[in-house]
Structure 1
Amino acid sequence: MSPPEPRDPEALAPMSHREILRALTGLLLSLLVAILSSTIVANALPTILKDLHGSQGQYTWVVTATLLAATATTPIWGKLADLFSKKLLYQVAIGLFALGSILAGIASSMPELIAYRAVQGLGVGGLQALAQVVIAAMVSPRERGRYAGYTGAVIAVATVSGPLVGGFIVDTPWLGWRYCFFLVVPLALAAMAVIHKTLHLPVLRRKVRIDWLGATLIIGGVSLLMLWVSFAGKDFGWISPASGLYLLGAVLALGLAVLVETKAAEPVVPPRLFRDRTVLLSVLASLGIGTAMFGASVFIGQYFQQARGFSPTVAGLLGMPLALGYVLTSTWSGRRITKTGRWKIYLVTGAVALFAGLALLATITHTSPVWLLACYLLIVGIGMGLTMQNLVLAVQNAVPATDLGAASSSVMFFRSLGGAAGVSVLGAVLAGRVGTLVGHGEPVRDAQGDASGLVFLIAAGLALVALVAIALIKEVPLRNNTPGSTGEHTAPVKPVDNPGKPVDNRSTPVDRLLTPARPISAAGGRFAQVVEGCRRTVDKAVDNPV
């Protein structure tokens, strides 16, 4: 075995709270613009379609291109974070996002815009996947909760404010829809500058082998799956030859990916992760929560506009209780987890609140009082705030540092996949229910409101599945240490209690086991004893009186 690479001791020193907050500013600013890029364009799409002479099919692709690129590449970004410099990767993701935004802003046709939105999606996938990984590299699991609360607050603010900002830009004559893309560029560049100056993480230089075949198969299989859930029910039936071809291609690609990943030296998504009970149950819960989260945010806005006749701006304001509940509970629970070290109680409580809120929304009609809907949305927001970030925290605490990026991105990947699939399936269910009610003589607007309850009922069922999965997760005490640059699992080092036997209690790898040169008798104290086979001393607390 070759000797380990020399490391700078200062690079491994834990960051202070002030240093973490400075670096976090850049991370959260980039995450803010990434989410804004998806939500800000919602109210601008009809205007874009008119100016660029696009079709209804192209209208869908403007959204799908970004979502597809971001979701399909999330596992790849996560694995790259386990192999390369996280700081460099994050800056590359910001650069891709900024480039895609500039190109989208100057697009002269719908095909160009769709292609540039895909480039933007590549950056969005990296920013969403790497933000949690970088925070995990800076902060121990025990302290991570307080900072995860800030992340949840940014996600909620960006999700709710995006449509409002987009509506304002489109309605302002001297701006126009192109500034929906230009607006985020200076913010992204500012985030890149802040990260370059403030983020300092240890980097392990080692031989890297990338599983390109596995990455290609995963991207191909996920892309086919995403395309199927995006267009089934609109361009072709859920049960049709086209659906069969999409599903067959996805199953074959992902099946081959599993075979390749089991034999790869550096698999993109290590299969061993899913043998861990916490990871497996968290992934299952993420599917349900992703569907519930995206469903609630998308269809409640549609309900306010189409069933109640509110403008997009007012509909966005009426959705504020959901964001308020998210911000308050994600921040509060993060601080409580840091203080107590307990996290499962917040996950279970959040899953119960999410199920209850969606079940209550299942009772709405076109005449439901707005204040009552606000109460229901607040409960849903509370549930989302207590579960989303804390599920990632539970997974990060359960896996070794070498799998931190792959494990974190897997949870976020399945959450996004669940959301994309959920929106498509629930949208088809809503359209079918509206058609049935209209066929029975009900006005279209009233039918839209009365049919919305069925969508939330299905979402509540999926939230119940997430609740069961979360209840089965075994709570593991949060670690108090951050991953070192060697990538080893950072479990606490136990005191030595083996006099006369080989001792290896150092933080760096060694070529062979070490034995004490003479008996150790400094019980409970600190000592400096020469060790055979090594030109340095051991300085560790012991409890092994001779």
Structure 2
Amino acid sequence: MALLTCAFLGVLDGSIIGTALPSIVREVGGDDTWYLWLVTAYLITSTVSVPVYGRCADLFGRKRLLLSGLGLFLAGSVACGAAGDLATLIAARTVQGLGAGALLALAMAVLRDRTDLGSIQTAMGVMLIGGLVGGPIAGGLITDHLGWRWAFWLNLPIGLAAGTVIAARLPADHVRRAGRRLDLAGIALLTGGLTLVLLVLSLQRYWLLLAPAALLLLALVPVERRAELPILPPGLLGRRDTAALLSAGFWFQAAALPVGVFLPLYLQNTRHFPAATAALVLLPMLGGMAVANRVTAAAVTALGRTKPALLAGAALITAGSAAFAALPTDSAPVLLGIAAAAVGFGLGPAMGGLTIATLQAVPRADTGLASAASILTKQLGGSVGLAAAQLVALPALRIAGWAGLAAGTLAWLSIAGFREAAQPLRAADPAATR
């Protein structure tokens, strides 16, 4: 439970700020152009740090890095709540994101070693349902009743409790690759290239920076081929099935995050709903995700296959997003709730199903790398989807619809290229539980 709580906090703080944004900007100053920075600063740092934590864990141990990352995350949370201006708040969100990278990469990695993949389906569902959809709901309720600063400060008691349990009960892990050198060149090239890409999309200017970003990412290929312990092994991405699943995860997240951010903003800024009411429109999405996740978990466990559920999920996301794109901007909230439920039913299969399929598609020795790559591509998909949505000069409801429609279609095409044979779910590695 403590491990799941850590991962939950990492996901939650990527989305909780959505319904609090108008109150934050009104209190500390700024305008709508700052909205994306407060979200993207967290997403960039939590995204690019995931593979770094994954590799450092091989050298220094997961428990130590997980607790260090949790401490960094909590320090950033306290600073966010105390911030008196937007520059300080953005800097604190950056620190928060650096800590969240450890929570996302390492908490689920430890859990994966200690349980079977069927249980991971449920764990991932709880984490992502609560984080992606529960974040805006919690943000709205906290903002209306306690103030937006408590959306950050409430992380402290929860995180401290989880950290205490982990420190006391999680055994020190064996460092499996002690003595091998960290791929510093690969880390620099990967983080530099991804950061430039995301900054360009966020600022919607300085497009020439995409040229050095492309050069950095291209230079990563030969560096990784020569590295003793590559940060992003080319062999992993070269597998057709793994590449298809990672691409699907990218597009699923690119569809989910714009809906979670722009739908509450539309309801508050265009329809003038209170933050809590705007967040409650997402409840049908939450319910759809919960039901679909449970149904998918049972089906995957019984059949040993995830592809049919993933294809159905992508189709439902596309249909729900098409409704957002077509509905009048003064539509009744119940119609918006129905569309949100369709998107939720589509996201449900993707939450744990993609993780299971990715881990099943690679040899056991590569499951750690596959897990980190899965988290990285999903985080990157959310960042790119949210930033790219800002390029569209449409009302917020239309942005959510068209972003989800495009990303859902691409997710379906990615899954269609995945070749899957029915197979029993792998159990946890017994050696990892000793």
The alignment's TM-score, normalised by the length of structure 1, stands at: 0.73
**2:374 maps to 1:428:** no
* Deviation, structure 1 residue 397: 1.6
Residue 188 of structure 1: aligned partner: 159
**2:426 maps to 1:480:** yes
**2:133 maps to 1:157:** no
Residue 315 of structure 2: aligned partner: 352
Aligned amino acid, residue 461 of structure 1: A
* Deviation, structure 1 residue 419: 1.9
* Deviation, structure 1 residue 378: 1.2
Contact 1:145 1:390 in 2 (8 A): no
Residue 178 of structure 1: aligned partner: 149
Residue 243 of structure 1: aligned partner: 207
Residue 459 of structure 1: aligned partner: 404
**Change in 2 beyond 3 A, CA 1:355/1:310:** same
**2:71 maps to 1:95:** yes
SS for the counterpart of 1:362 is: helix
Residue 203 of structure 2: aligned partner: 231
SS for the counterpart of 2:391 is: helix
CA distance in structure 2 between the partners assigned to 1:85 and 1:484 by the alignment: 18
SS for the counterpart of 2:380 is: helix
Contact 2:358 2:371 in 1 (8 A): yes
Residue 183 of structure 2: aligned partner: 211
**Change in 2 beyond 3 A, CA 1:261/1:36:** same
Residue 382 of structure 2: aligned partner: 419
**Change in 2 beyond 3 A, CA 1:379/1:481:** same
Residue in structure 1 matching 2:244, options 266, 272, 281: 281
* Deviation, structure 1 residue 59: 5.3
* Deviation, structure 1 residue 171: 4.1
CA distance in structure 2 between the partners assigned to 1:267 and 1:313 by the alignment: 45
SS for the counterpart of 1:378 is: helix
SS for the counterpart of 1:423 is: helix
Deviates most, 366-375 or 459-468: 366-375
Contact 2:37 2:202 in 1 (8 A): no
* Deviation, structure 1 residue 409: 2.0
* Deviation, structure 1 residue 306: 3.5
CA RMSD of aligned residues (A): 2.5
Residue 2 of structure 2: aligned partner: 26
SS for the counterpart of 1:268 is: coil
Alignment map for 1:138-537 (pairs within 5 Å): 138-140=114-116, 144-172=117-145, 176-200=147-171, 203-205=174-176, 206-232=178-204, 236=205, 242-244=206-208, 246-429=209-392, 431=393, 433=394, 448=395, 452-453=397-398, 456-476=401-421, 477-483=423-429
Residue 115 of structure 1: aligned partner: 91
Contact 1:78 1:408 in 2 (8 A): no
**Change in 2 beyond 3 A, CA 1:485/1:165:** same
**2:20 maps to 1:75:** no
**Change in 2 beyond 3 A, CA 1:42/1:273:** same
Aligned amino acid, residue 243 of structure 1: W
**Change in 2 beyond 3 A, CA 1:43/1:287:** closer
For residues 5-57 of structure 1, the C-alpha deviation after alignment (integer angstroms, 9 at most, x for no partner) is xxxxxxxxxxxxxxxxxxxx102212232233333333444444455455665
Aligned amino acid, residue 181 of structure 2: R
* Deviation, structure 1 residue 200: 4.2
Aligned amino acid, residue 97 of structure 2: G
Structure 1 residue runs without a partner (length 5+)? 1-24, 237-241, 434-447, 487-546
CA distance in structure 2 between the partners assigned to 1:90 and 1:286 by the alignment: 24
**Change in 2 beyond 3 A, CA 1:77/1:403:** farther
SS for the counterpart of 1:210 is: coil
CA distance in structure 2 between the partners assigned to 1:372 and 1:109 by the alignment: 38
**Change in 2 beyond 3 A, CA 1:203/1:322:** same
CA distance in structure 2 between the partners assigned to 1:97 and 1:160 by the alignment: 21
Residue 14 of structure 1: aligned partner: none
CA distance in structure 2 between the partners assigned to 1:304 and 1:44 by the alignment: 13
Aligned amino acid, residue 254 of structure 1: L
Contact 1:138 1:201 in 2 (8 A): no
Which one has a larger percent helix, Structure 1 or Structure 2?
2
CA distance in structure 2 between the partners assigned to 1:343 and 1:219 by the alignment: 32
* Deviation, structure 1 residue 455: 5.0
Contact 1:147 1:334 in 2 (8 A): no
* Deviation, structure 1 residue 267: 0.1
For residues 321-346 of structure 1, the C-alpha deviation after alignment (integer angstroms, 9 at most, x for no partner) is 11111112213322332344232222
Aligned amino acid, residue 470 of structure 1: I
Structure 2 residue runs without a partner (length 5+)? none
* Deviation, structure 1 residue 93: 1.6
For residues 490-536 of structure 1, the C-alpha deviation after alignment (integer angstroms, 9 at most, x for no partner) is xxxxxxxxxxxxxxxxxxxxxxxxxxxxxxxxxxxxxxxxxxxxxxx
Deviates most, 57-66 or 392-401: 57-66
SS for the counterpart of 2:390 is: helix
Structure with higher RCO (Cα < 8 A, 6+ apart): 2
**Change in 2 beyond 3 A, CA 1:340/1:204:** farther
SS for the counterpart of 1:389 is: helix
The alignment's TM-score, normalised by the length of structure 2, stands at: 0.90
CA distance in structure 2 between the partners assigned to 1:278 and 1:311 by the alignment: 45
CA distance in structure 1 between the partners assigned to 2:398 and 2:379 by the alignment: 23
CA distance in structure 2 between the partners assigned to 1:158 and 1:281 by the alignment: 25
Aligned amino acid, residue 174 of structure 2: V
